[in-house]
Each structure stands twice: as structure tokens, then as C-alpha cells.
């Protein structure tokens, strides 16, 4: 048996998958989606849907729906094994790439729609009273703040794509 800090490997793996799943709700994804991602992230081989179902004790429909969602996020990929008809799945292992893809997806799904709403509501024409003036002032501040957060994400993504910045960063490490 392989022991990790007094814990058996299977116990450690299960604890990681369960913890990652619990965090999923805080990240805006469901528990099963996060658990599938965790399983694929810490497994060195690609897994079939049946293997994912067995490992996590979930239904085919649940596995299929969540694998599709993970592929839509760009953090899980389909693979094939020579001589096999089954589809296999593997998670993005590069943590920098994973963080960028999650940031892009969260921006697209959460920040951009919020910016659109904030822009609309903060552009109230001719506020007539103190309450309306305060509303416009606060929603305008929120719009600017959320816009700055979105710009930071965009800069991180641009940085990833800028090979010169990457080279410079490596040189100063």
C-alpha cells in the first residue's frame, strides 16, 4: 500500500476529490462537475466515461452532462486509444493554462454580463431626486470597478499569449 502522510493513497485521492467538489459550488460550478475535474486532474491516464462513473458512483447522464460542460470550459479533452471505440477523457494538467481558461470562462459567463447590466442601469437619464442620483453614482462606481477586474483578467490572458513577456519573466526568475 502507498501511504501519504499516514493516509493511504485511495483515502487521500478520495479526500482530494471530495474537497475539490465542495469548492466547486464556490466557483460557480456543481459538485459533480468539480469532482470529475479533480479525478481527471490527478489521474495519470485518460479515463473512459464508464471509469469516471464507477470511480465517482454517478449515473451515465450525470457523467455525460458534466464531461460535456468541462469540455465546453476547455479544461477537459476527449482522447482516443488505439484499437478502442470508447472515448476517453483527460484534464488540462498545466496549472497556468487551467487558471487562464477558468478565468476566461468566468469572465465570459459572469463578468461580461454583469458589466452589461451595470452599464445599462448606471446610464439612467436625468436623475430627478437624491435617491436616483445616489443609484447612478453607486452603479457607475460598480461598473468601473468590475471593468477594472475584467481588464486585469484580459491582461493576464494577453500576458500568456505574449511570448516576449514570458521570456522576460523567465529571465528574471
Model pTM score: 0.73
Answer whether residue 22 shows pLDDT above 70: yes
Cell numbers given for 108:
465570459
Q: Pick from 40, 32, 107: which is nearest to 64 by CA?
A: 32
2: pLDDT confidence band, cut at 50, 70 and 90?
A: low
Say how far apart CA 112 and CA 110 lie, in whole Å: 6
Whether the Cβ atoms of residue 28 and residue 43 lie closer than 8 Å to each other: no
Across 103-119, b (16+ Cβ under 10 Å) vs e yields bbbbbeeebeebbeebe
For residue range 78-101, what is the model confidence (pLDDT) as tens digits? 999 888 889 999 999 988 888 888
Amino acid at each position: 500500500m502507498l501511504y501519504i502522510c499516514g493516509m493511504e493513497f485511495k483515502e487521500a485521492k478520495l479526500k482530494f476529490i471530495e474537497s475539490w467538489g465542495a469548492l466547486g459550488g464556490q466557483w460557480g460550478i456543481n459538485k459533480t462537475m468539480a469532482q470529475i475535474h479533480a479525478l481527471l486532474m490527478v489521474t495519470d491516464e485518460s479515463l473512459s466515461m464508464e471509469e469516471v462513473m464507477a470511480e465517482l458512483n454517478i449515473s451515465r447522464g450525470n457523467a455525460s452532462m458534466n464531461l460535456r460542460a468541462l469540455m465546453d470550459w476547455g479544461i477537459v479533452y476527449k482522447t482516443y486509444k488505439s484499437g478502442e471505440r470508447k472515448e476517453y477523457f483527460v484534464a488540462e494538467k498545466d496549472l497556468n493554462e487551467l487558471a487562464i481558461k477558468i478565468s476566461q470562462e468566468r469572465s465570459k459567463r459572469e463578468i461580461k454580463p454583469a458589466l452589461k447590466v451595470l452599464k445599462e442601469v448606471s446610464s439612467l437619464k436625468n436623475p430627478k431626486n437624491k435617491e436616483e442620483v445616489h443609484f447612478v453614482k453607486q452603479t457607475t462606481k460598480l461598473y468601473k470597478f468590475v471593468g477594472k477586474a475584467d481588464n486585469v483578467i484580459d491582461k493576464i490572458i494577453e500576458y500568456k499569449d505574449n511570448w516576449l513577456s514570458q521570456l522576460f519573466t523567465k529571465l528574471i526568475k
